[in-house]
Structure 1
Amino acid sequence: MTTDMRHAVVEVLKDSEAVAMEMARLLIRTVKEKQQGRVRIALSGGSTPKQLFAILAQPDMARQVDWSRVEIFYGDERHVPEGHADSNHASARELLLSRVSIPAAQVHPMPTAATVAEDAASYQSVLEQAYGATKLEAGRPLFDIVMLGLGTDGHTASLFPGEPVLEEKKAWVGVAAPRTAPHERLTLTYPAIASSALVVFLVTGENKVPMLARLRQGDGSIPSGRIVSEGKILILADEAAAGELS
């Protein structure tokens, strides 16, 4: 059964730190509860994920996770050199991945050394190898958790308004060159995000109030409003972003 944004569960928390803490607890619980295989997680960028990474890196939190069973991917990435200040992977590596005992082979940054098209194809191959197939199958999600943010223009991952990647129906990884944000991008597509057991939006800040309302309505005119999951969708919002919901 596919879940769309109109059927997402919304949880309102005090502030961005509380949102990050709840996401940390959810990740810990997911790893503990999955009985077999690795837990495949697609991380997002942004300020709240940075808070999440710092929380998970704390020794008392990190020891609650069997990192040998965790496999890390990314929802999107700016096409910048390795280690660049704008790189989602650089932030995750600095704040979390270099501080926990996750095997290096189980961390899969989006490549940025070739052209965006070549790197998208390379990451598609990485995902196919992890999944064990070249076609997504209903009932066998690619990801256990996909983390997403919400832009003030309604974008999520690097699915920006007006970008051709919004119409991608087959590929799992696409490219974007948003006019309103720097850098070319690699991004998971709608089909890849949909192949998930759980999608979690992390939404914080009062500037997100109008767009969060549209997201919850499943407004298909904004990219985030078109997200679906074959599992569940959860929105973790702070009181500032929730507005009248809080």
Structure 2
Amino acid sequence: MSAHPTAATGALKVFPDREHLVHALAEHLLALAERTLAEGGADRPFRIALSGGSTPQALYALMAAPDYARRFPWARTQFFMVDDRFVPHSHADSNGGMLQRLLFDHVPVPKSNIFLMPDSGASTEAARRYEATLRRVTGLNTLPTAGNTTTPPLLDVCLLGMGTDGHTASLFPGQDVLSNHTDWVAACTPATAPHIRLTLTYPAIAASRHVIFLVAGADKQAMLARVRAQDTSLPATAISGLCDVTWYMDQAAMPLTA
């Protein structure tokens, strides 16, 4: 295992199409949850941060289906967010609202286990409030780094996507947030996408035990090839994790030279 797993070196899991892709990832998340809970004891929850996007929406719909929902340990899982547009949760562009409608409204997860990003007040203050929530719920004062075996992870799983411009979470090219290695959560305003955003920063994502990218479609192929070639102009290239970084993708997104 690499001492510093990154997006450029992480394993590639390739599936014939989106249907097979989301089914495989759903089963993988279930296995990770069961393993974490078995290893951690009765008081240890499974912590996962979720992203928005069209392909993750198919995953969440599958997880909400009765056959899957009856198997997942909802009561012992804490759900966080990777990023969100700073709009009311009732807004069509809200990731938090999407998660509530597609997933949380259909499964037996306690409301106290759901930690959506704030959707009101000043964005910078909202980012500080969400970081305070992460600190309170996890009990962490400092973030673990790769190779640290004594500090528990911030998250067990951080689920990411990637845009056709190489952004991930709300870490867009050329933004000041890319150099923020102090805060766990930050507000940002992308030049190429609508809305102010709240996002986990690089160090918060890197404090996750398992980082998983979910990408699909031929329009992601060229960008993924650039990440694998360690193109440092792309925000996704700088992503790392504590134990592993894994790409779950369909065949259409598979780079020819990965």
- How high is the TM-score relative to the length of structure 2? 0.92
Conserved 8 A contact 1:219-1:226: no
Q: What is aligned with 2:169?
A: 157
- CA deviations on 1:215-236 (whole Å, 9 max, x unpaired) are 2223211100000111100001
Name the structure 2 match of 1:17.
19
Distance 2:134 2:78 in 1: 11
Following the alignment from structure 1 to structure 2, what is the Cα–Cα distance between the partners of residues 95 and 245? 36
Selected match of 1:146 from 158, 170, 190: 158
Instruction: State the shift of 1:245 in Å.
Output: 6.4
2 CA distance for matches of 1:157 and 1:46?
10
Cα distance in 1 for partners of 2:73, 2:164 equals 36
Give the % identical residues.
41
1:134 alignment partner AA: N
Instruction: Decide which of 36, 51, 68 is 1:61's aligned counterpart.
Output: 68
Matches within 5 A, 1:149-228: 149-228=161-240
The answer for the alignment partner of 1:109 in structure 2 is 116
Q: 1:6 Cα deviation (Å)?
A: 2.7
Aligned: 1:121 with 2:123: no
- Any idea what the Cα deviations from partners look like across 1:70-103, whole Å, max 9, x if unmatched? 0000100000012111111111111111111111
Kindly provide the CA deviation profile for residues 122-141 of structure 1, in whole angstroms up to 9, marking residues without a partner as x: 00000001220221133321
Native 8 Å contact 1:206 1:243 kept in 2 = no
Give the Cα–Cα distance (whole angstroms) in 2 for the partners of residues 33 and 230 of structure 1.
17
Output the CA distance in 2 between the equivalents of 1:132 and 1:79.
26
Q: 1:243 Cα shift?
A: 4.5
1:117 to partner: Cα distance: 0.1
Give 1:170 deviation, angstroms.
Answer: 1.3
Aligned partners of 1:133, 1:234: CA distance in 2, in Å?
25
* 2:139 partner letter: G
CA displacement at 1:240 relative to structure 2: 1.1
8 Å Cα contact 1:110/1:186 also seen in 2: yes
SS at match of 2:237: helix
Kindly report structure 1 stretches of 4+ aligned residues shifted beyond 4 Å: none
Q: 1:193, CA displacement in angstroms?
A: 0.2
State the match for 2:89 in structure 1: 82
- Pair 1:237 & 2:244 matched: no
Give yes or no for contact 1:43–1:148 (8 Å, CA) kept in 2: yes
What is the CA–CA distance in structure 1 between the aligned matches of 2:123 and 2:19, rounded to whole Å? 34
Contact persistence 1:136–1:195 (CA under 8 A): yes
Change (3 A) 1:90 1:245: farther
Counterpart secondary structure, 1:7: coil
Tell me the SS of whatever aligns to 1:4: coil
The alpha-carbon deviation at position 5 of structure 1 amounts to 2.1
Q: Which amino acid letter does the alignment assign opposite residue 152 of structure 1? A: T
| Between 163-172 and 29-38, the greater mean CA deviation after superposition | 29-38
- Larger mean CA deviation between 61-70 and 12-21 belongs to 12-21
* Distance in 2 (alpha carbons) for counterparts of 1:42 and 1:99: 18
Amino acid at match of 2:209: A
SS at match of 1:123: helix
1:48 matched to 2:87? The reply is: no
Report the Cα distance in structure 1 between the residues aligned to 2:193 and 2:210, rounded to whole angstroms.
27
Q: What is the one-letter code of the residue matched to 2:175?
A: E
- Number of residue pairs the alignment of both structures matches: 246
Cα deviation per residue 1:134-168 (whole Å; 9 max; x = unaligned)?
A: 21133321011000001111000000011101001
Distance 1:210 1:69 in 2: 39
| Cα distance in 2, alignment partners of residues 72 and 19 from structure 1 | 22
